[in-house]
Amino acid sequence: MTDRGATPETILSLFAARGDNFSARNLATAAHRVAKMSRGRNRHVQRDRRATALADACRLRIREFNPQDLANTAWAFATARVEAPELFAAIAGAASSQLGEFNPQNLSNTAWAFATARIDAPELFAAIAGAASSRLGEFNPQNLSNTAWAFATARIKAPQLFAAIAGTASSRLGAFRPQELCNTAWAFATARIEAPELFDTIAGAASSRLGEFNPQNLANTAWAFATAGIEVPELFAAISGAASSRLGEFNPQDLTNTAWAFATARIEAPKLLTAIAGTALSRLGEYNPQDLANTAWAFATARIEAPKLFAAIAGTASSRLGEFNPQDLANAAWAFATASILAPDFFAAIAGAASSRLDEFNPQALANTAWAFATANIQAPELFAAIAGTASSRLGEFNPQGLANTVWAFATARIEAPELFAAIAGAASSRLGEFNPQDLANTAWAFATASMQAPELFAAIAGAASSRLGEYNPQNLANTAWAFATASIQAPELFAAIAGAASSRLGEFNPQGLANTAWAFATESIHAPELFAAIAGAASSRLGEFNPQALANTAWAFATANIHAPELFTAIAGTASSRLGEFNPQDLANTAWAFAAARIEAPDFFAAIADTASSRLGEFNPQDLANTAWAFATAGIEAPELFTAIAGTALSRLGEFNPQNLANTAWAFATAGIEVPELFAAIAGTASSRLGEFNPQDLANAAWAFATASIEAPQLFDSIALVARSRLGEFNPQALANTAWAFTCVDWKKDPEFFTELACFAIRDLDALDDRGLSQLHLASLHFGLEWPDRSSPLFKHHQILQMAYQRRNPRPSQLQRDVATALDRIGWTPHVFEHVTEEGLSLDMAQPETKRAVEVDGPHHYLKRTRVENGSTRLKSRLLRRLGWDVAHVSFFEWEALDTEREQDSYLRGRMRIILPAPA
């Protein structure tokens, strides 16, 4: 047709001048030569109108083309990148009926051409697959490789053809050139065809020849093995070695694909990736959006720290996010979040770019974007709201991980989306069998964290998880227990299974997992002493790794579960003492509460807590204030400055206190003997109008506290009586005894019926009371009899039991008591009886029964603080004795202790007698 030395332009000019005289063969040959000579010469034939005219001429005479002409013409226009869809359609139609005459080269080239030109021709590809499958033995390596590449590129599913190519190629790979080895692996990976034997053979053939591979071959081979999930660490190591010294020859996509492949295959190659980062830094301007996103994704996935690279990617990408497709946007956000790179401006730009395009995002991209913003702690409420709206109607397309990650993200970001949570609960419940352990645990955690009520979902998760706990990692076990406890979901079988699964693996738990597991079992009131013992053993030697919350929660859990673990508490005190400045208010309060509840004596530790807390009480919430006061009172720790500070802080905030906080605060100050009448008055005023919210224990504690502190609050007691009367059946035996004692102490006499009803309920469970409770009822019975002598109390029938209990609790005579008795003898106050017991069972230190005169010795303050009820009962006893006609003098320990000589003691006592009693005869 023309001189073989002619240029593409010469041939096209000749066609333009004499095209009407070209035969079909001339046309095919011209196209083939133009394409062949254009390759590698930077010829822009695809923009030459004469090439388009040549395509039209070929199309008009396509029926005259033989198989060779058809294949060559398709190959030519694909190679020259000339857009000619009508010509390709004509070739497809003409070729389909002639494929039986095509040789292997023609079949391969035709498929390659249609794939390269991105021409959709499924019928032609199906026909080629049918024609080629039985003739693959005639295909040379290039034909085999190109055919596989073409079907993969065109996304044509042809599993039988791929299987046949694998079988044919495996035994001939030694004859394949590097490009053919690479393309074959790439094709099978892209087509998602499982062919492990073929990949293994390619790995063996390639490893020794990587020096012949060009950069694209190296990158694509790594990409193919990573995509196919074929583990060949030796090949990756060899690729790493071959690539490292040639990275300057790699184009951006090759650099990206190499990094992506090593990250995806989880091959550790820090030197290679560090070198890629260095090479990429100066060339990011050449990267397309996908390369930028995938590079960030690769370094995040491989856990390679490359802050300069991430900063450069953020800077380069921020102004180009409009070019990013949804997957790229999601991957970029995911990568920066996973790598813990602080880039708020970049995230803000992603949020802006993504919000208006969420309808284009696939489910995984939606889930990953939400996950990334939550993980990076980026506030983006508008983006989350848009994601919620987009995702809610498409949840049926989400895979289990997508559902779990989405709900986890919204919970972590504290975004309220009840409709989305409800929709996810519905979508997930029927598919939990597909969820992996991480997805199950994260879903439960998310609903618990978001305080979303979903009992049916939790029940389904419990059923799905119970039989699979052996697959759970420690964090999943701990988070699942935590979630069910936080959501207040009763699941005893699940907790029993978790205890069994966790006990032998606690050495693998991190500190947070140990603390959360203990917390969960304690919160759910699950009896698991063996598990707690194992946690104590695992935690004790690792407390230095615990953060303040984990230390506090561990102590709280053991105290709440009533597990005796003094060694663990001692270790916690030792670890925490020097770190209390890191504790938040709740941690301080819970730690103190735990040590008090567990009856652990740790005065130095409590002193350290008091010092730390006193200056920070303004940060404490009402629960923390109440718990701290309760703890110090329960532990019997003298901390007047702390109590004073708590009182000052609480006074202006009592409106925020719940009933239990109000009752416990009063109880604590009364128990500790701290006199703050303003606080009690404020509590009385705040509580009186809210007593309907108090539970029986709170009502009893409030009454007991005011009685013990000798605070007159008649309106409060009237209100307590009114509220408690209809609920006495809910009071436990000790609460009934405390309430009866408190009303007796304050000399309440408004309604004998209330006392009668109290007594009726109290006598039902006398066996449940210890001597303290029975003694309280004895004093109440005496009060009733003295106040309403014409009425009968149900307690009277049990008079003997109550009086005997009261007498058993009388303290042994003290040395001071004996000293006073001796002094009374010296001054002539005789006769008198030592330790006289009245017929009502009331004991007197020294008494003259005939004249009903007596002396009572008030013991030392520290003794009274340990027996606070006795302290209150002592005052009550004095009042009852006076009602019974006794005249009682009191001798104070502190006054007596200040006297140095017998003369001073005698003089003091004689003066005391003259003031209070008639002069002795």
- Pairwise CA distance, residues 477 & 59, whole Å: 67
Give the SS3 label for residue 845.
strand
- Pairwise CA distance, residues 632 & 617, whole Å: 15
Mean pLDDT to the nearest integer, 334-352: 96
The two tokens of residue 204 are 């063996």
Residue for token pair 């959360």: 516
Phi–psi pair at 267, nearest 5 degrees: -95, 120
Mean pLDDT to the nearest integer, 64-83: 88
Closest residue by Cα to residue 182 from 227, 224, 228: 224
- Pairwise CA distance, residues 643 & 667, whole Å: 12
Residue type, 539: A
Mean pLDDT to the nearest integer, 289-302: 97
CA atoms within 13 A on the CB side of 863: 13
Give the SS3 label for residue 222.
helix
Closest residue by Cα to residue 406 from 445, 457, 371: 371
Specify which residues 837 forms β-bridges with: 843
Supply the pLDDT for residue 863: 40
502 against 11, higher pLDDT: 502
Supply the pLDDT for residue 905: 87
Work out the angle at residue 497's Cα, subtended by the Cα atoms of residues 491 and 501, and round it to the nearest 5 degrees. Answer: 140
778, 784, 790, 791 alpha-carbon torsion, rounded to 10°: -80
Mean pLDDT to the nearest integer, 778-790: 93
Tens of pLDDT, residues 477-501: 999 999 999 999 999 999 999 999 9
Supply the pLDDT for residue 2: 47
- Pairwise CA distance, residues 272 & 219, whole Å: 12
- Mean pLDDT, all residues of the chain: 91
Closest residue by Cα to residue 590 from 641, 631, 619: 631
Q: pTM for the whole thing? A: 0.80
| Distance (Å) of CA 156 to CA 116, 119, 122, 127, 193 | 13, 12, 7, 12, 12
Question: Which of 91-95, 455-459, 713-717, 902-906 has the lowest average pLDDT?
Answer: 902-906
Please say if the pLDDT value at position 508 is more than 90: yes
Classify residue 179 as left (phi > 0), alpha (psi -120 to 50) or beta.
alpha
Give the SS3 label for residue 889.
strand
Contact assessment for residue 399 and residue 416, using Cβ atoms and an 8 Å cutoff: no
Please say if the pLDDT value at position 353 is more than 60: yes
566: cis peptide before it, omega within 30°?
Answer: no
Please say if the pLDDT value at position 37 is more than 60: no
CA atoms within 13 A on the CB side of 243: 33
Please say if the pLDDT value at position 811 is more than 50: yes
- Pairwise CA distance, residues 250 & 272, whole Å: 13
Mean pLDDT to the nearest integer, 454-478: 95
Round to the nearest angstrom and report the end-to-end CA distance of the chain: 156
The two tokens of residue 919 are 């002069």
- Helix 752-762 to helix 714-725 angle (10° resolution) is 50
Tens of pLDDT, residues 862-895: 344 434 444 567 778 888 999 999 988 888 877 8
The two tokens of residue 157 are 């599913």
Work out the angle at residue 878's Cα, subtended by the Cα atoms of residues 877 and 884, and round it to the nearest 5 degrees. Answer: 90
Specify which residues 647 forms β-bridges with: none
pLDDT band of residue 22 (cuts 50, 70, 90) is confident
pLDDT band of residue 20 (cuts 50, 70, 90) is low
Q: Which residue intervals of 173-325 are DSSP H helices?
A: 178-190, 196-207, 215-228, 233-244, 252-264, 270-281, 289-301, 307-318
148 against 916, higher pLDDT: 148
Supply the pLDDT for residue 875: 78
